[in-house]
């Protein structure tokens, strides 16, 4: 009976998580440069123009695998190229991530704690907004959890190496950061002494990696290894585009996990609370190093958090702070350890859960997205309506991506937005991006919609 109750709770929480992510999705999701590129490339795949490479990284223009684009093309086909299809895919991947978080915690940490962790991640405002953003990293948390699972299983079982290779290949379709995650795992192996892989395991693992990288390999062989050279170039030279000092890294890590419990950081008191909770989570995980049953797992989580942080601290100027997203799954499982310890103090434990759930749901309820897909669709519908009977033309002079989604939205409505106005048309709607992306109020009394943005030459 308890088993069926557990299944009911898990399914109910996942359905609730789906609702929180799908509710008013068009008003809470983006459709900007990344989303427009993905949707346009996915449409070309549907029409037979297949892809060997995926999106390029923000550093070095290295192209990841094309797997995520093919996922987008599938949902785009099912939804007849609707701009919302990418967000629907991202939400589905988010719910799958929630389930994998639960499975990992249930299998490797604690049965009861896994349910509580699922509740917190289901209602986490940070994770909800992440899951509503359609872009290649939507797939990353799934890959990272699979990679962590394989690494931990490899302590006792050969299958762990196969699972790791699957996680790596899946991650390579999502984000360059999976390469750094692999280095973190290899560092963990130095201390953890996993089982020695058999020759057959090495062969199967190599086959998975080669097949998973095959499209990138084919492209490089045909193009003088241009993409591989870009990968090598990422680690060369110097740049000061970003600065990630130690304090900023701590701030990033704490804000990667603490908002699951306390989604506020608006003043110095909130900042102190966030850093304090993060310190408790970290110290608690360190304390499990003395637990003979959990010490390997706690070591894995600590290394896969510390190694990327150290890398970014050393490689100053090359990567933006969001590249530390690979620490999120490890931090979530550290939180599970913290919840396991905190559950011994029942009154405090219940209080923390109530406050965390309330604050996250309150943030979710009042959330409003500037420059949402809904606002852009409303503008497109207004323009289409004017085109229909008032001799309005449309001028969209920016290249693909720089239009921040408008070109694809116009194409979806069957409007050719790139052509000059026809003879006799008296007005032109120019899509001009507001400075700072603050809001989306169209100035319909002017000859354009929006305010000028000084971002283009």
Give residue-wise pLDDT tens across range 74-93: 999 999 999 999 999 999 99
What's the whole-number mean pLDDT along residues 40-67?
A: 85
Mean pLDDT for the chain?
83
**Range of weakest confidence among 242-251, 353-362, 435-444:** 435-444
Per-residue confidence at 393, pLDDT binned at 50, 70, 90? low
Residue whose tokens read 């297949």: 50
Supply the pLDDT for residue 310. Answer: 86
**Rounded average pLDDT over 253-276:** 84
Measured CA to CA, the distance from residue 198 to residue 344 in angstroms comes to: 43
Q: What percent of the chain has pLDDT over 70?
A: 79
Range scoring the smallest mean pLDDT among 12-16, 234-238, 331-335: 234-238
pLDDT at residue 426 in the model: 55
pLDDT band at residue 290 using 50, 70 and 90 as cut-offs = very high
The segment with the largest mean pLDDT, out of 1-5, 139-143, 227-231, 448-452, is 139-143
pLDDT at 106 over 70: yes
Q: What is the pLDDT of residues 126-158, one digit of tens each?
A: 999 999 999 889 999 999 999 999 999 999 899
**pLDDT, tens digit (0-9, with 9 covering 90-100), for 13-28:** 999 999 999 999 999 9
- 448: which strand partners? 430
Buried b (16+ CB within 10 A) or exposed e, 173-190: bbbbbbbbbbebbeebee
Domain ranges in the chain? 2-365, 373-449
pLDDT score for 272: 86
Q: Per-residue pLDDT for 164 more than 70?
A: yes
Query: Quick check: 108 pLDDT over 80?
Result: yes
Mean pLDDT computed over 448-452: 37
Please write the tens of the pLDDT for every residue from 173-229: 998 888 889 999 999 999 988 999 999 999 999 999 999 999 988 988 888 888 888
pLDDT of residue 271: 83
The pLDDT, as a whole number, for residue 441 is 45
pLDDT at 105 over 80: yes
Buried b (16+ CB within 10 A) or exposed e, 233-249: ebeeeeeeebebeeeeb
At residue 186, the pLDDT reads 92
Report yes or no: 432 and 448 within 8 Å, Cβ to Cβ: yes
pLDDT digits (tens, 9 = 90+) for 334-382: 999 999 999 999 999 999 999 999 999 999 998 888 778 888 887 777 7
Confidence check: pLDDT of 172 > 90: yes
Contact 417, 428 (CB under 8 A): no
Choose the most confident range, by mean pLDDT, from 32-36, 105-109, 134-138, 253-257.
105-109
State the pTM of this model. Answer: 0.87
């Amino acid at each position: 009976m308890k088993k069926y109750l557990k299944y009911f709770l898990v399914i109910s929480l996942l359905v609730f998580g789906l609702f929180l992510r799908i509710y008013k999705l068009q008003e809470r999701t983006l459709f900007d440069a990344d989303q427009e590129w993905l949707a346009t490339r996915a449409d070309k795949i549907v029409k037979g123009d297949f892809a060997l490479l995926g999106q390029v990284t923000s550093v070095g223009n290295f192209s990841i695998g094309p797997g995520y684009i093919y996922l987008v093309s599938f949902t785009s086909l099912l939804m007849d190229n609707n701009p919302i299809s990418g967000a629907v895919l991202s939400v589905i991947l988010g719910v799958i991530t929630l389930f994998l978080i639960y499975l990992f915690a249930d299998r490797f940490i604690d049965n009861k704690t896994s349910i509580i962790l699922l509740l917190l991640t289901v209602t986490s405002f940070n994770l909800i907004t992440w899951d509503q953003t359609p872009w290649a990293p939507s797939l990353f948390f799934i890959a990272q959890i699979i990679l962590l699972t394989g690494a931990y299983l490899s302590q006792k079982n050969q299958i762990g190496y196969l699972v790791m290779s699957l996680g790596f290949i899946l991650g390579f379709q999502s984000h360059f950061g999976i390469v750094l995650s692999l280095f973190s795992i290899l560092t963990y192996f130095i201390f953890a002494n996993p089982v020695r892989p058999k020759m057959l395991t090495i062969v199967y693992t190599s086959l998975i990696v080669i097949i998973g990288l095959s499209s990138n390999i084919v492209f490089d062989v045909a193009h003088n290894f241009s993409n591989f050279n870009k990968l090598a170039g990422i680690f060369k030279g110097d740049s000061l585009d970003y600065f990630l000092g130690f304090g900023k890294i701590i701030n990033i890590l704490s804000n990667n996990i603490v908002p699951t419990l306390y989604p506020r950081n608006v003043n110095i008191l909130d900042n102190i609370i966030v850093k304090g909770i993060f310190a408790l989570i970290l110290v608690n995980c360190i304390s499990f190093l003395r637990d003979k049953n959990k010490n390997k797992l706690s070591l894995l989580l600590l290394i896969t958090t510390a190694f990327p942080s150290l890398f970014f601290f050393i490689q100053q100027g090359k990567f933006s702070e969001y590249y530390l997203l690979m620490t999120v799954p490890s931090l979530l499982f550290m939180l599970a350890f913290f919840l396991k310890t905190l559950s011994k103090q029942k009154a405090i434990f219940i209080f923390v859960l109530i406050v965390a759930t309330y604050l996250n749901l309150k943030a979710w309820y009042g959330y409003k997205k500037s420059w949402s897909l809904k606002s852009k669709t409303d503008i497109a519908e207004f323009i289409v309506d004017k085109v229909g009977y008032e001799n309005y033309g449309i001028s969209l002079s920016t290249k693909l991506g720089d239009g921040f989604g408008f070109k694809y939205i116009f194409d979806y409505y069957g409007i050719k937005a790139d052509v000059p106005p026809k003879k006799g048309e008296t007005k032109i709607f120019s899509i001009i991006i507001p400075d700072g992306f603050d809001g989306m109020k169209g100035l319909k009394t002017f000859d354009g919609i929006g305010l000028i943005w000084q971002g283009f030459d």
